[in-house]
Every structure is written in structure tokens, then in C-alpha cells.
Amino acid sequence: MNYKGPQKEEMISAGIDIGTSTTKLVISRFTLMNMAGGAHVPRIEIIDKQVIHRSPIYRTPLRTPTTIDIEKIEDLVKVEYQKAGIEPKDIQTGAVIITGETATKSNAEVMLHQLSDHAGEFLVATAGPDLEGIIAAKGSGAYEYSKETGKVIANIDIGGGTANVAVYKSGRLCGTCTLHIGGRLIEFKENKIQSISPPVKDLLQRWGARMEVGQSSNPIEIKKITDFMAEVIARMLNRALTLEDHALLLGHEPNWGEDIEAIMFSGGISECIYQHENGSGQTAQYDDIGLMLAASLKESTSLSEWTWVMPQETVRATVLGAGMQTTEISGATIEADNGKLPLKNLPVYQVRFEADFKIEMNQFSKRIEEAIELYDSQRDGQNFAVYFSELPYLRFREIDEFADTILTAMKQKPNPAQPLVLVLDRDYAKVLGQTLKRKDSSQSVICIDQINVENGDYLDIGQVLNTNVVPVIIKTLTFQK
């Protein structure tokens, strides 16, 4: 098979991180190249990623304590695009990430969708705490460190509202955990306490300690709290949280089985430790417990038991992870109706071929019925992607039968005119897609392969590039309540 298509191309990615305290933006350029020889099935890979623009670190604009100022966010994105010399139409991939306490704001979901419409036809994600930790570990350098050394490293990304932990070994995610630990959990104004977050109030109540809004700030009492936070992080790393520590636990317990060998800090608090941002003054003005928390981390004898690895990025770890590490590339042997792309926020329904191929085919109609009940129970036309995993080796006769079964089952969908979105874990996308089109030329088909997803994930699929691949973002759409 002689592949004549383009061997190399570039695409522009944007990462926007709207966090509890700060908002950042990066623009990157990806270089894609066919890594297979001319006579082989093409294998397109991202061979180079280069940051071409970094925004300043903005204070996240809020209208009220519970609502984000959407117009100001849109304005600052426009300004940064102009500085980078790009327009929204130039963006082909990337992610908007709403992190930390910002994901709890009343208009977070509205802002996400509005911003994605204005910031370009690119792919959009919002992080729940686990995904946020994973993205930060990729932006900080912890993920690469684990790949290079084979060691078990925990990346602890501490911002204004949360500490998001992701543990990696040899490039494999071992587990995650999130704590209510961050710089803005107690805020001050003119040396008086202006706000205390609910988790800290809960902790103080357990201690029988009195601290209220309007009181003068007492550095000794505040330091007790930040020292305790540092010890909670150490116990969490050892998977030994106490009942008292649970006041600061957000979601599930630490869920990795490995013993941690090294730790890396990223996020705004890490910037207080390392001052990566060249003393720009951006991070020097603190009216919260950020500097005290950084001091408690540095002074903690419990945390000194691990090797501390210097991060490549501190406060920008999540935005760099969002802009540079969230995009995957499909296989090049795909079938896609480009007029129907991009597609955003498609829930994934997984069909695992654990049984015999014939048995699975007989059950497929029932599976699609379940998917409709799960994702489109109101029958208002919510589309979804079907992911076929653990596919056996299929001969052409079985591909033909597979296509018939899919077309019959999909007639149950309330809106049959929607594109069929099929994701395969083996290289059958082109032959299956073309067989579906041959059997029903009126049916739009997006059939891609070499992507691994699972139930509960959401997919964003970008437009077909010149190299005949599509950029894909796999994400979790979770708004913390």
C-alpha cells in the first residue's frame, strides 16, 4: 500500500485555565508527522510541541463570590489572542479547564460553553478534581519524570482552593486524591480575616478553636492550620488519613497501591516555594494563607522523607497540561464526514467484546437501547459515541455483518439523521465506515480508531487534518457541587 498523503503538518492549540485565584492562557504549535514508511499504513504522531505565547497570570475575575465575570474572561482571551497574532479560527485543538473552587460557581457551566463558542472551534474540557490533578502532573513535568526514571512520583498541585494529587509510575497513572488545601481558604483584608472556607470552619469546630470573619489575623493560630495541612498531605501520600483529616478530603481516599518515592509541587503554592515567574511581582501580593502554607510545606519533617523534584512549571502547570497534553491523534485509516465536525461533549457508551462475536452482535440492539436510556432518556436527540473494545480479528464477511447490525440497532435513535459516531480499539475504522456508507449512503458516519476511552468519558472530535487524522480530546465533564 503506497501512502501519498502529506507527511508533515502543523496545528495550533490553546490552553485556558480558569482557577480559584488565577487565570492563564498558553498558545502552542504542534508538529504532526507520518512515522511509518511510504509503503506502510500511515502512523501519524505529534513529534514536537512548542509554546508560542504565554499570557500574564491574571486574577480570576468574579462578579460576586459565587459567579464568574464571563465578559472579563472573554476580553482577556481576546487580548491574548491578539498578542499571539492568532484568531479563533486558527485554533484546532486545546482545552478550557475550569479548576478548583471556580468549578463550583453558579455560572461555571454557562461560561464554559459560551467561551468555547467565542474562543474558536476547538475542543473543550472542564476538570473535575481527578482530571485536574492528571493534567497538572503532565504540565509540571512529573509525568515525564516517572517515564524517564521508572519511579513512583506524586504531583501535588496546590492552588487557591484545592490540592490535586496524581501519582505516576513509568508514565502510568496509579491513582489520584484531592484535598481542601489551598492558599485562599482563609483570606485577609487590612490584617483582618475576610473569609474562612467551610472545610477550614469544620476543622476549627472539631478543634474547638474560635476564629471568625472580622477578627484580627493571628499568625500563630494561622500557622497551626497550615502546619496541619502539610501533615495531612504527608499522611495522604502514605495512604494513612485519619478521621480528623477527613475534614479536608474532597471525594475519594488515596487510591494507589504503590509506595511513593518522590514528590513534586506545582500550582500557585509551588510558585511561593520556587519563584519560577522571575520575581515579576505578579505573585508577591498575597492577602491569604498562601505564603504561610508554602512555609509549612518547606518546614515539614514528614514531607522531607521524600525526594523533592523541582517542577518544570509551577503556577502554569495546569494550563500547559491543558494546552499541550490533552490532545490525542486518531489513526490515519478513518472514515469521517468532515461536514459534521467538530463534535463536542459526546458521552461514550462502551461495548466490550468479552463473548463470542455472534453473541455480541445479537445483544447489540439491546445495548443501544440502554445507551439511549442512559444519555437521551428525554428522547430530545442527545447524540453519543459507541466505543467497541476488545474486538476480535474480523474477516470482511464479519465486517459486513457488523455494519448491518449497527445500522439496524441505530434506527432506535430519536434522531436518525445524526452522525453515527463509532470508536474502535483496532484498525477497522476505515473499512467499517466505508461499509456503512455503502449500505446507507444517506447516513453520516464518523468512524475512528486507535483511541482508548471508557464508559463515562466524553469525547471532542476536531476536523480532519491534511494528514487524514482527527484531533481527539477525552475528558470528564464534572462540575463540582
DSSP codes, 333-373: S-EE-GGG--EEEEEEEEEE--S-HHHHHHHHHHHHHHHHH
Distance CA 240, CA 234 (A): 9
- pLDDT tens digits, residue range 390-418? 888 889 999 999 999 999 999 999 887 89
Residue 280 confidence (pLDDT):
45
Region of 325 (left: φ > 0; alpha: ψ -120 to 50; beta: rest) is alpha
* Domain CATH number, residue 206: 3.30.420
Last residue of a domain, one of 106, 125, 144: 125
Do 293 and 352 fall into the same domain?
no
Structural domain range at position 420: 335-463
Whether 2 is covered by a domain: the verdict is no
* Domain CATH number, residue 72: 3.30.420.40
Q: What is the mean pLDDT of the chain?
A: 85
Last residue of a domain, one of 65, 95, 125: 125
Residue 17 confidence (pLDDT):
85
Distance CA 430, CA 436 (A): 10
Residue 235 confidence (pLDDT):
98
pLDDT band at 132 (very low <50, low <70, confident <90, very high): confident
- Residue 51, class by beta-carbon neighbours within 10 Å (0-12 exposed, 13-18 middle, 19+ buried)? middle
Is 360:353 a contact under the CB 8 Å cutoff?
A: yes
CA angle (27 as vertex; 26, 30 as ends), nearest 5: 130
Q: Which residue has the cell 484535598?
A: 179
Whether 13 is covered by a domain: the verdict is yes
Do 111 and 156 fall into the same domain?
no
Distance CA 338, CA 296 (A): 53
Residue 445 confidence (pLDDT):
94
Residue 3 confidence (pLDDT):
43
State the average pLDDT over residues 350-379. Answer: 86
Whether 330 is covered by a domain: the verdict is no
Whether 481 is covered by a domain: the verdict is no
Do 76 and 152 fall into the same domain?
no
φ, ψ of residue 88 in degrees (nearest 5): -50, -35
Do 139 and 282 fall into the same domain?
yes
Reported as type and span, the H/E element at residue 140 is: helix 129-140
Residue 307 confidence (pLDDT):
97
Which of 422, 474, 395, 437 lies closest to 93 in space, CA to CA? Answer: 474
Do 159 and 220 fall into the same domain?
yes
Whether 259 is covered by a domain: the verdict is yes
Last residue of a domain, one of 74, 91, 125: 125
- pLDDT tens digits, residue range 203-224? 999 999 889 898 988 899 999 9
Whether 68 is covered by a domain: the verdict is yes
Residue 329 confidence (pLDDT):
65
Cβ-based neighbour number of residue 238 at 10 Å: 14
* 226-235, 303-312, 416-425: least confidently modelled range: 416-425
* 16-20, 60-64, 145-149, 305-309: least confidently modelled range: 16-20
State the average pLDDT over residues 368-376. Answer: 86
- pLDDT tens digits, residue range 19-73? 878 898 989 888 887 776 655 566 677 778 888 899 998 988 988 888 889 899 9
Do 256 and 284 fall into the same domain?
yes
State the average pLDDT over residues 1-9. Answer: 56
* 120-134, 151-165, 259-273: least confidently modelled range: 120-134
Provide the 3-class DSSP secondary structure of residue 246.
Answer: helix
Whether 444 is covered by a domain: the verdict is yes
Residue 171 confidence (pLDDT):
87
State the average pLDDT over residues 178-195. Answer: 92
Which of 165, 163, 129, 167 lies closest to 145 in space, CA to CA? Answer: 167
Distance CA 475, CA 347 (A): 10
Provide the 3-class DSSP secondary structure of residue 188.
Answer: strand
Residue 417 confidence (pLDDT):
83
Residue 478 confidence (pLDDT):
43
Do 223 and 350 fall into the same domain?
no
Do 99 and 115 fall into the same domain?
yes
Whether 114 is covered by a domain: the verdict is yes
pTM score over 0.85: no
Do 174 and 262 fall into the same domain?
yes
Our CA dihedral for 53, 50, 44, 419, rounded to 10 degrees, sits at -20
* 51-60, 108-117, 209-218, 249-258: least confidently modelled range: 108-117
State the average pLDDT over residues 113-138. Answer: 71
CA angle (237 as vertex; 234, 240 as ends), nearest 5: 80
State the average pLDDT over residues 319-333. Answer: 68
Do 340 and 409 fall into the same domain?
yes
Residue 124 confidence (pLDDT):
53
Residue 18 confidence (pLDDT):
86
Residue 115 confidence (pLDDT):
78
H helix count then E strand count, the chain: 12, 22
Q: Which residues of 387-415 are buried (b: 16+ CB within 10 A; e: fewer)?
A: bbbebeebeeebbbbbbebbbebbeebee
Count of the separate structural domains present in the chain: 3
Do 299 and 228 fall into the same domain?
yes
Do 406 and 422 fall into the same domain?
yes
- Sign of the C-alpha dihedral computed for residues 334, 338, 340 and 346 taken in this order: positive
Whether residue 99 is predicted with pLDDT greater than 80 in this model: the reply is no
Whether residue 141 is predicted with pLDDT greater than 70 in this model: the reply is yes
